[in-house]
Chains A and B, each alone.
Chain A
Amino acid sequence: MTDTTSPAATHTAAPTKGSWSFLRGHLRQYGILFALVAIMAFFQVATGGILLKPVNLTNLVLQNSYIVIMAIGMLLVIVSGHIDLSVGSVMGFVGALAAVMIVNWHVPYLIAAIACLGVGVLIGMAQGFWVAYFRIPSFIVTLAGMLVFKGLTLWLLAGQSVGPFPRQFQLISSGFIPDIFGAEGLNLFSLLIGVVVALGLLAMAVRTRHHQHKAGIEEEPFAFFAVRNLLVVAALVYLSWLMAGFRGLPNVFIVMALLIAIYGFVTNRTTIGRRIYAIGGNEKAAMLSGINAKRLVFLTFANMGMLSALAGLVFAARLNTATPKAGIGFELDVIAAVFIGGASMSGGVGTVVGAVVGAFIMGVMNNGMSILGIGIDWQQVIKGLVLLAAVIFDVMNKKKG
């Protein structure tokens, strides 16, 4: 970087000491991104380049999409100071419901999908109702929900797998966005989307920084800003180029990206987001500030139900069948992703991007270790230790600060 030519150089050519203290203060945000990059680099080398092969990369996205979708909802639940243990079961139940409706009852898949999302919302509301308005601990309500929906899934499927789904329904998971340019061997449209989104993000970052500069808000040193954003842009372009070389961007990828953008915005920039963080940080103070904590917690659970249902549809479409075992244990992966992403058990702390990165850290490790032929036994051990290490890092970091 040629700092001297930058108009902001006078302001940002801060002494290294300032940069270091900034880094220390924001270690968590950089740390999680750095960890993901490091883990990817490690497996890229260890697997002899298989990890970032277009087909594997596409698989990686597909395999983790439902975890990411639920992690976004879980982030809100955990930030508000609660937890939802039922998401895996709800996801399995909704997948089963979709299968029964579409395959057995021949309901049009679009109507079935919408109905399933609605059922997800209702399930979330039913659980959120007890948590928010009767103050039953969410751990217990959703533990009960986990058992209930696991049972209902078995009942609904009568212990059998139900499938296959019609072709259009499968496209939710296995479809790719069409290439309107029709170039040979490369999905140009997908690449273009990647580039446009990357540049859009860059423009937004520059604009925000400009505003911060004008408002005199503490800003990150220019070198960090530049490196971080260049890395993000390069990674996005590179990944979309890789995937464009296979079959293009999967439909699910677009759904995921939209959810990340929407929920990232809601948590960061809206009054609803602010209020959810305040409730998790100090519920009593939030209520005495005129915030309707009960309603917001209720809505957080309803939202979680909807996203679990969406994940259920995606998962069923991907397997092309609904099985009684679908979703079992997924809640643990989802919760782990959110905590690896820096959320606090006691509420009030955490980011959507962190949760998504956390989910991908888990996903890359699953994928990389499978390629390396590491058994499921040791995979579990290693993932457990990574979760523990991430949280220990958080706690230590907070103590020092």
Chain B
Amino acid sequence: MAAILEMRAITKEFPGVKALDNVNLSVEEGEIHALVGENGAGKSTLMKVLSGVYPHGTYDGDIVYDGEVRHFRSIPDSEALGIIIIHQELALIPLLSVAENIFLGNERATKGIIDWRETNRRAAELLSRVGLKENPEALVDDLGLGKQQLVEIAKALSKNVRLLILDEPTSSLNETDSERLLDLLVEFRAKGITSILISHKLNEVSRVADTITVLRDGSTVARLDCRQGVSEGEIIRDMVGRSLEDRYPPRAPKIDGTVMTVDGWTVHHPLHAGRKVVDNVSFHVRKGEVLGIAGLMGAGRTELAMSLFGRSYGRDISGSVAINGKAADLSTVRKAIEAGIAYATEDRKTFGLVLDDTIRRNIPLARLEAIADRGIVDRHREADVAERYRKRLAIKSSSIEQETVNLSGGNQQKVVLSKWLFADPDILILDEPTRGIDVGAKFEIYTVIRDLAASGKAVIVISSEMPELLGITDRLYVMNEGRFVDEMPTSAASQERIMASIIRSGDRA
């Protein structure tokens, strides 16, 4: 088969950094090509070069598309030839309809007057091609993330896509939606549409990809042909440059008495008063234990954690919490922190960090009084604290004075983690602690979790990645539709068993 795209010896420099160094990428027509690599390996930069975000002339090397050397100067240039990128952060306007979004900037109009009938008819057509049964006039805001992703793809189809590039398309999707998306890619392949899939999830990559290009530190390190069989271990070794025999640090749990007991916890949706988001949940966690909460996206896990943490979510909350045998008042975040709970959010940019502030100012935020005397901040103690955590968690940064907005996802996550470690909780709730971060940083975060448990803290991990839960926890609860539907020691757990209890509970309902 002929190559539809060849990127030859691409080199892209930023002041002081060589982001891409002599990278080669060759994609055959009609294949699914996976582009993998750690965060900062250069995947996004390479795609920005391809799409014209970095115009011709700002990089070295050639882009050969469809047999000709191309000089893209802007995104419309590349889109005109059918190269469409769907970014990780979706570019939909929430309060416009599905149809309006699909044809945004490309309206079905004559002389500036929009033909709504044509717009909605074409939109419905495109939606059926991506298998989405929604009214084209529905607001995007009312759709789940999985469906929004499909709207983005429909939008790409409307532009006569030939090369579809998906940047981490499943990072915020649940398993069912992810599966559906991957199936769609396979369907497209049959119709001759080529895809480039950027993903951290190696199981997905090995499921659908025909070829894999691995980037590391701005260079191409491997081109693997999946049709000849490639193991995840091989890919990981190429990605990190070392063998990660163990994706999870070994640990010897020392589990002690119960530290927190939650009884009959029920939370209602903040807007729809009658809807129970968390329904009569009871659980306990012990000192030195890493407790996992498994479940699909939307099972109510984040809502459970946030409602426990100072009632930061929901209303009409009922149920009781005891910490160390005594009833605990968790009615405000302040009280929850004082009671010994910490909650590190799944959405570090929106809920975790003050992005424009430095590492130094972010880390002590939840416990400012510890670096202050009578309300006056001791800047030296503050700097000491920040520096200590920067070293302990190996936060890659020029200094504690670096603004957190400029850190990579993994290092941002470490700053959030530092903040809560400094708050010194007895019970630390981590919500998707490794979402969107690379294999190396994941290992470091697992190590921190292990050390915390070893020092007698209780750690609760909420995660949608089942292998991760199986790898680092001691005991698991399975949550579905607001209820805890199963509990098991991790030693007796498997992905199949977790999925089975989710499905069984769904049937019962």
The answer to whether B361 and A289 have CB atoms under 8 Å apart is no
The reply to whether B369 and A271 form a contact with Cβ atoms under 8 Å apart is yes
A278 to B365, CA, bound (A): 8
CB-CB under 8 A from A289, the residues of chain B are 333, 365-366, 419
B377 and A269 contact, CB distance less than 8 A: yes
Q: Which residues of B contact A290 (CB under 8 A)?
A: 310, 332-334, 336-337, 366
Chain B hits for A349, CB < 8 A:
356
CB of B459, distance to nearest CB on chain A (Å): 18
B351 and A285 form a contact (CB under 8 A): yes
Contact residues of A between 281 and 339, Cβ < 8 Å to B: 281-282, 284-292
CB closest residue in chain A, given B398: A218
- Return the chain A residue nearest B360 by Cβ: A217
A226 smallest CB distance to B (angstroms):
22
The answer to whether A222 has its CB under 8 Å from any CB of chain B is no
Closest to B371 in A: A271
Q: Do B309 and A278 touch across chains, with their CB atoms under 8 A apart?
A: no
Asked if residues B345 and A282 are in contact (CB atoms below 8 Å), the reply is no
Judge whether B125 is part of the interface by a CB distance below 8 angstroms.
Answer: no
Q: Is the CB of B376 within 8 A of A270?
A: yes
Q: Which residues of A contact B106 (CB under 8 A)?
A: none
B354 & A286 in contact (Cβ 8 Å cutoff): yes
B354 touching A272, Cβ below 8 Å: no
- Is A211 positioned at the interface, with any CB of B under 8 Å from its CB? yes
- Chain B's closest residue to A347 (CB) is B356
- Is B368 interfacial (CB-CB < 8 Å)? yes
B375 touches A272 (CB 8 A): yes
Most buried by A among B337, B351, B353, B365: B365
Taking a contact as CB atoms under 8 Å apart, the answer to whether A284 and B372 are in contact is no
Asked if B368 and A271 make an inter-chain contact with CB atoms under 8 angstroms apart, the answer reads: yes
Asked if B380 contacts A287 (CB within 8 A), the reply is no
Assuming the contacts A287-B312, A288-B309, A290-B333, asked whether A218 and B372 have C-beta atoms less than 8 A apart, the reply is: no
Is A215 engaged at the interface, CB distance under 8 Å to the other chain? yes
The answer to whether A53 has its CB under 8 Å from any CB of chain B is no
How many interface residues does B have (CB within 8 Å)? Answer: 34
Q: Which residues, 319 to 357 on B, are CB-close (under 8 Å) to A?
A: 332-334, 336-337, 343, 345, 350-357
B333 touching A288, Cβ below 8 Å:
yes
Q: Are A288 and B351 in contact (CB under 8 A)?
A: yes
CB distance from A347 to the nearest CB of B (A): 9
Chain A's nearest CB lies how many Å from the CB of B39?
21
CB distance from B400 to the nearest CB of A (A): 8
Are A215 and B383 CB-contacts (below 8 A) given A270-B375, A348-B356?
Answer: yes
Tell me the smallest distance from the CB of B390 to a CB of chain A, in Å: 12
Chain B positions within 8 Å of A287 at CB level: 312, 333
Question: Do A285 and B354 touch (CB < 8 A)?
Answer: yes
- Cα distance A217–B366 in the bound complex, in angstroms: 22
Cα A174 to Cα B428 with chains together (Å) = 60
Residues in A with CB closer than 8 Å to B355 are 281-282
A288 to B336, CA, bound (A): 10
Indicate if the CB atoms of B334 and A292 lie closer than 8 Å.
yes
- Residues B345 and A281 in contact, CB atoms below 8 Å apart: no
Given known pairs A217-B383, A272-B375, the reply for A281 and B354 (CB within 8 Å) is: yes
Q: What residues of B have a CB within 8 angstroms of the CB of A286 in the complex?
A: 354, 365
Contact flags A131-146 to B (C-beta < 8 A → 1, else 0): 0000000000000000
Q: In the complex, what's the smallest C-beta–C-beta distance from A320 to chain B, in angstroms?
A: 40
Docked complex Cα distance between A258 and B390 (Å) = 38
**In this assembly, does A275 line the interface, its C-beta being within 8 Å of a C-beta of chain B?**
yes
Distance, CA A91 to CA B144, complexed state (A): 50
From A271, which residue of chain B is reached at the shortest CB distance? B368
For chain A, the count of residues having a C-beta within 8 Å of the partner chain is 29
Query: Does residue A106 face the partner (Cβ distance < 8 Å to B)?
Result: no
| B491 lies within 8 A of chain A by Cβ | no
**Chain A residues near B401 (CB, 8 Å)?**
217-218
Chain A min CB distance to B116 (Å) = 33
Q: Bound state CA distance, A378 and B364, in angstroms?
A: 49
CB pair B380 A211 closer than 8 Å: yes
A228 CB–B CB distance under 8 Å: no
**A281 and B356 form a contact (CB under 8 A):** yes
**A175 → B minimal CB distance (Å):** 33
Instruction: Tell me how far the C-beta of B430 lies from the nearest C-beta in chain A, rounded to whole angstroms.
Output: 14
Report Cα–Cα, A285/B405, bound state, in Å: 14
Contacts of A278 in B (CB 8 A): 354, 357, 361, 365
CB B411 to nearest CB in A, in angstroms, measures 16
Q: Which has the most chain A C-beta neighbours within 10 Å: B334, B368, B380, B383?
A: B368
**A288 to B312, Cβ gap below 8 A?**
yes
Contact A271 B333, beta carbon cutoff 8 Å: no
B375 touches A284 (CB 8 A): no
Q: How far is the CB of B334 from chain A (nearest CB, A)?
A: 4
Task: With CB as the reference atom, state the residue of chain A lying closest to B401.
Answer: A218
Q: A residues within 8 A CB of B357? A: 277-278, 281, 348
Q: Which residues of B contact A271 (CB under 8 A)?
A: 368-369, 372, 375-377
Instruction: Tell me if A167 is interfacial: C-beta within 8 Å of chain B.
Output: no
The reply to whether the CB of B128 lies closer than 8 angstroms to some CB of chain A is: no
Report chain A residues within 8 Å CB of B332: 290, 292
Q: Report the separation of the CA atoms of residues A374 and B376 in the bound assembly, to the nearest whole angstrom.
A: 47
Residues of B within 8 A of A344 (CB): 356
Question: Please, how many angstroms separate the alpha-carbon atoms of A270 and B376 in the complex?
Answer: 4
* Residues in A226-284 with C-beta less than 8 Å from chain B: 269-275, 277-278, 281-282, 284
| Known contacts A217-B383, A288-B343; is-contact A282 B334 (Cβ 8 Å) | no
Assembly CA distance A286 to B365 (angstroms):
8
Indicate with 1 or 0, residue by residue over A189-230, a CB within 8 angstroms of chain B CB atoms.
Answer: 000000000000000000000010011111000000000000
Task: Give bound CA distance, A284 to B419, whole Å.
Answer: 15
Bound complex: CA A20 to CA B351 (Å): 36
B399 at the interface (CB under 8 A from A): yes
C-alpha spacing A217/B375, complex, angstroms: 22
A167 to B113, CA, bound (A): 71
Task: Convert A351-388 into 0s and 1s, putting 1 for each residue whose CB lies closer than 8 angstroms to a CB of B.
Answer: 00000000000000000000000000000000000000
Complex contact B361–A274 (CB within 8 A):
yes
Q: Provide the bound-state CA to CA distance between A132 and B349, in Å.
A: 23
The CA of A217 and the CA of B360, in the complex, are separated in Å by 11
Contact of A270 with B377 in the complex, beta carbons under 8 Å = yes
Chain A proximity of B94: nearest CB distance (Å): 18
- A sample of 23 cross-chain residue pairs with beta-carbon separation below 8 angstroms, ordered by A number, consists of A214-B380, A215-B379, A215-B380, A217-B401, A269-B376, A269-B377, A271-B375, A271-B377, A272-B375, A277-B357, A277-B361, A282-B354, A284-B350, A285-B351, A285-B352, A285-B354, A286-B354, A287-B333, A288-B343, A288-B351, A289-B366, A292-B332, A349-B356
Q: A274-B365, A274-B368, A291-B333 are in contact. List 9 more A-B contacts (CB 8 A).
A: A269-B379, A271-B372, A273-B377, A281-B354, A287-B312, A287-B333, A288-B352, A289-B333, A348-B356
Question: B interface vs A, CB < 8 Å?
Answer: 309-310, 312, 332-334, 336-337, 343, 345, 350-357, 361, 365-366, 368-369, 372, 375-377, 379-380, 383-384, 399, 401, 419
In order of increasing CB-CB distance, the 9 nearest A-B pairs are A281-B354, A289-B366, A271-B368, A290-B333, A290-B334, A290-B337, A282-B354, A289-B365, A215-B380
